[in-house]
Structure 1
Amino acid sequence: MSQRPAPSLLLLFLLMIPGVCSQWSVWYSHSHICALKDSSVIMNCTYKYPTGHQIRKVFWTKTLEKDNGEFPDLSKDPEYSQRLQYLGNKQQNCSIRLSHVTLKDSRMYYFRFITYNPDGKWTGDPGVTLAVTDPPEKPVISISPSGEIVSGHSVTLICSSDSNPPAEISWFKGRTFVGSGGIFNISKISSDHSGEYKCKSINEHGEKYSAVTLNAMYPPRNISVLITGSGEIVSGDSVTLICSSDSNPPALNFSWFKENESSAVGSGQSFSALQSGRFYCQAHNQHGSQRSDAVTVTVHHHLGWHVWLGITVTCLGFIIIIIIIILFIMRKRRDAKTEDLTVKQDNLYADVTGRDVHVSESADCDDAQYATVTSSKPRRDRNAPDRRDTEEIQYATVQHHKNKQTKRSEENESQYGNIRIHQPESVVRRSNVETVEDASVIYSRVK
């Protein structure tokens, strides 16, 4: 009994025979294909098999590892089934179209056909290599640790960007280059590190940017006190002190202290100082507190305007009272002088004796009575300065004694009398004085 070789050995033997191997083949028009992401790519191929064989199945696969004794069919893969289209037939054409390629599609693909002959199977190996290229996608930046960034801590920035070929990563703060690579580390971050950071992802197909802002929190610093106006005030007035600080977040709590005193004297960003002393403020936020340098406030104890007003009114009152008193005294003195002058004039009255005079009645005069009065002036002293004495008007009471023997036809008649008035002895007595007599006519009503 003769033994037949196993089919696999027979096939191997046939392939070793010249001319038989060339009957089983797969030929790819391009062994390497480069495509852009989201584009469509066509893989052209042809195949050959010996005559007498009939094709039972054709398909493409992405692996040479068998699953349940056979290579997986790419058209049945969920990632490819909606995007893969077979353009060939069961004769010689084995081309396919793959749409909307992604970066994950970058690999080697193989065409395989199976005939009804149990030994009639063939895989085109090596296959077609597909390289999907892609400009960098927008980078994604993550911050570690997440949450609030406090001054003095370390912060790490991580940038990732899908691209093919892989993109180069660069870091910028504003427009200043600060580092490269997917990881950028900041140790002991401070307020100077706060700002916008950009991650740049670039390859030969394009570049993309993403940005993130670092906001470092820190306690109050650079505390200062501003004095509105001068630090010197008058008692009763006040000066306003304003506290300012640099902090993140901004300080909302301010306390005011007077040097050498433990308890606060005020609160709020501004404070009105009413007394002398050195004052300082203390600013607080959730990350700490700090105090300012002390400023000096001087209060001068001068009288206020209301006190000066009271003093002025009082002084004016005293001045008015004094003026009234002076006017009252002057009036009293003037009245006293007038009374004294009256007394002196009374002493100067001369006794005048009315003499009988001849009265002429006139038809044109209505009972007018006249008296002739002669006034004797005192003599001048020759040794005295040559000046004229002011003549004083002397008033005399004239009493007219009627002649009992004279009869009148009317009660009111015009009568005349000679009257001589003598001035006091003390005024008249002068040495070597010429007496000048001036006759003056004095009219008086004689009863």
Structure 2
Amino acid sequence: MSVRMAPRLPLILLLMIHGDAGWGVSYSHSHICALKNSSVIMSCNYTYPTGHQIKKVFWTKNPVKGVEPPDLSEDPEYSQRLQYLGDKQQNCTIRLSHVTQKDEHKYCFRFTSDKPGGTWLGHPGVTLTVADLQVESPERVTEGHNVSLTCKSSCTLTDRATFIWYRNSQPLTERRDTNNQLLLQSVRREDAGRYSCALHEHTYISPAVYLNVTYAPKSVSVSISPSEIVEGYSMTLNCSSDSNPPAEISWFKGGTFVGSGRIYSISNISSDHSEEYKCKSRNKHGEKYSDAVTLNIMYPPRNVSVSITGSAEIVEGGSVTLICSSDSNPPALNFSWFKENQSSAVGSGQSFSALQSGRFYCEAHNQHGSQRSDAVTVTVHPGAGKNVIVITAASGGGLFIIIFIIIMCFIK
């Protein structure tokens, strides 16, 4: 067995109440300490005078003087767990299985013979104590340190007792320790959990004790919500870290402290917030910074303007190229061109060729909005023409026709 019994006592011969010699019961142990849910053997022998034949043998508990003791084999709480291993001659040993604290009583053997007055109750009996196993462990241990867990019981366990250790109800290894200690060297965070112990060949498992492994912050990171940040709206930064005990969180914009707490919120966000952010996670074991994140803030086109390639004054038949530029995120891809006092667009694309005089402006678009530029003036002058002028004159009695071809430029 895995339980050490009390020292063996000398044979106790108990005299019959009437004083006749030869009657008695001797118990191997007057006190037995058993583990919860284990089986207990109560060994005993009995004697009686020659000439008597034993008719009935049974065990009882907590006998009261003057009251007929009950037979435990007829008690529903014992009938399925009590097994008589003795006989009707001299051996009165029993086995009691699956003991619990409710079984902590004084047990006595009683027998009767075939002759009048031939009854005997063996005092003082066997006192049964039921104990459980307990795990002793420090409440917490720092990662990298060593820790020892001890499996203890109020019962005295034999040196041959072998132990099985469990973490979170799973056996740690197939190896069974030859002592009642479990040594965890260079503890890791994965070693945290609920530890319990048991004795080999016993079904009872001790109550679990939680081992808390503390460590400095690790795996510090920042997440952004929502994933797409639009100017004028609100957003939050969330700092997560693996640490025990929980860490204190600080926030930094660039290198400047801007707040504390696991969540950092920004309302009515603008492009001025487009800078690197990072968090610092700190507990009593150390600190660690996250990688920096840069806010990518989306906004509609602004500062839309039109530039002119070359001169805004051209000769009829030529053209001037207008280019639309804007500041936006994401960059504007759609552009529309308008001539003042006209409701419909006269062109599209980032560049536009003006062929006539007028005031023109562009409109830049992205998925977050649009904006118009100021108008620019384009002036187209008339183009060059050719005129032939015929002049007639007289000289020397002859008619000379002098033809002058004059090329003139004029304004239409």
Which residue does 1:164 correspond to in 2?
244
Structure 1 distance, partners of 2:154, 2:229, is 70
Would the alpha carbon gap of residues 75 and 196 (structure 1) be closer, same or farther in structure 2, given more than 3 Å must change? closer
More strand by share: 2
| Residues 172 and 199 in structure 1, CA contact (< 8 A), matched pair in contact too | yes
Do residues 275 (structure 1) and 373 (structure 2) align? no
Which residue does 2:169 correspond to in 1?
77
3-state secondary structure, aligned to 1:256: strand
Do residues 210 (structure 1) and 306 (structure 2) align? no
| Residues 221 and 290 in structure 1, CA contact (< 8 A), matched pair in contact too | yes
Equivalent position amino acid for 1:135 in 2:
A
Aligned-pair Cα RMSD in Å: 4.6
Do residues 289 (structure 1) and 381 (structure 2) align? no
Structure 2 distance, partners of 1:48, 1:74, is 17
1:351-370 maps to which residues of 2 (within 5 A)? none
Structure 1 distance, partners of 2:335, 2:135, is 84
Which residue does 1:259 correspond to in 2?
340
Would the alpha carbon gap of residues 275 and 167 (structure 1) be closer, same or farther in structure 2, given more than 3 Å must change? same
More helix by share: 1
Do residues 97 (structure 1) and 220 (structure 2) align? no
Structure 2 distance, partners of 1:122, 1:259, is 90
1:149-188 maps to which residues of 2 (within 5 A)? 149-188=229-268
- C-alpha distance after superposition, 1:225-282 (max 9, x if no partner): 1122332333333222111111122111111111111122222211222222211111
Structure 1 distance, partners of 2:167, 2:192, is 17
Structure 1 distance, partners of 2:330, 2:192, is 50
| Residues 144 and 156 in structure 1, CA contact (< 8 A), matched pair in contact too | yes
2:314 is aligned, of 226, 233, 241, to: 233
- Deviation of 1:173 after TM superposition, in Å, equals 3.0
Equivalent position amino acid for 1:189 in 2:
I
- Deviation of 1:9 after TM superposition, in Å, equals 5.9
- Deviation of 1:8 after TM superposition, in Å, equals 3.1
3-state secondary structure, aligned to 1:210: coil
Which residue does 1:35 correspond to in 2?
142
| Residues 228 and 239 in structure 1, CA contact (< 8 A), matched pair in contact too | yes
- Deviation of 1:101 after TM superposition, in Å, equals 4.2
Moved more, 213-222 or 248-257: 213-222
3-state secondary structure, aligned to 1:257: strand
2:271 is aligned, of 191, 195, 201, to: 191
Q: Which runs of 5+ in 2 are unaligned?
A: 1-16, 18-59, 64-101, 107-131, 399-412
3-state secondary structure, aligned to 1:275: coil
Would the alpha carbon gap of residues 240 and 81 (structure 1) be closer, same or farther in structure 2, given more than 3 Å must change? same
1:307-386 maps to which residues of 2 (within 5 A)? 307=385
Under a length normalisation based on structure 1, what TM-score does the superposition of the two structures give?
A: 0.50
Structure 1 distance, partners of 2:265, 2:397, is 102
| Residues 55 and 114 in structure 1, CA contact (< 8 A), matched pair in contact too | no
Structure 1 distance, partners of 2:158, 2:167, is 22
Structure 2 distance, partners of 1:167, 1:104, is 19
| Residues 255 and 264 in structure 1, CA contact (< 8 A), matched pair in contact too | yes
Structure 1 distance, partners of 2:311, 2:375, is 15
Q: Which has the larger radius of gyration?
A: 1
1:427-442 maps to which residues of 2 (within 5 A)? none
Structure 2 distance, partners of 1:197, 1:110, is 45
| Residues 237 and 265 in structure 2, CA contact (< 8 A), matched pair in contact too | yes
3-state secondary structure, aligned to 1:192: helix
| Residues 156 and 186 in structure 1, CA contact (< 8 A), matched pair in contact too | yes
3-state secondary structure, aligned to 1:263: coil
Would the alpha carbon gap of residues 58 and 327 (structure 1) be closer, same or farther in structure 2, given more than 3 Å must change? farther
Report sequence identity in percent.
Answer: 53
1:138 is aligned, of 197, 219, 224, to: 219
| Residues 200 and 210 in structure 1, CA contact (< 8 A), matched pair in contact too | no
Structure 2 distance, partners of 1:277, 1:76, is 83
Equivalent position amino acid for 1:187 in 2:
S
Would the alpha carbon gap of residues 46 and 254 (structure 1) be closer, same or farther in structure 2, given more than 3 Å must change? closer
Structure 2 distance, partners of 1:113, 1:199, is 49
Do residues 223 (structure 1) and 304 (structure 2) align? yes
Structure 1 distance, partners of 2:214, 2:193, is 12
- C-alpha distance after superposition, 1:319-368 (max 9, x if no partner): 9x99xx99998xxxxxxxxxxxxxxxxxxxxxxxxxxxxxxxxxxxxxxx
| Residues 141 and 147 in structure 2, CA contact (< 8 A), matched pair in contact too | no
Equivalent position amino acid for 2:215 in 1:
D
- C-alpha distance after superposition, 1:116-135 (max 9, x if no partner): 9xxxx998x9x998442222
Under a length normalisation based on structure 2, what TM-score does the superposition of the two structures give?
A: 0.53
| Residues 31 and 129 in structure 1, CA contact (< 8 A), matched pair in contact too | no
Moved more, 176-185 or 278-287: 176-185
| Residues 137 and 161 in structure 1, CA contact (< 8 A), matched pair in contact too | yes
1:119-138 maps to which residues of 2 (within 5 A)? 130-138=211-219
Would the alpha carbon gap of residues 74 and 238 (structure 1) be closer, same or farther in structure 2, given more than 3 Å must change? same
Would the alpha carbon gap of residues 97 and 263 (structure 1) be closer, same or farther in structure 2, given more than 3 Å must change? same
- Deviation of 1:59 after TM superposition, in Å, equals 3.9
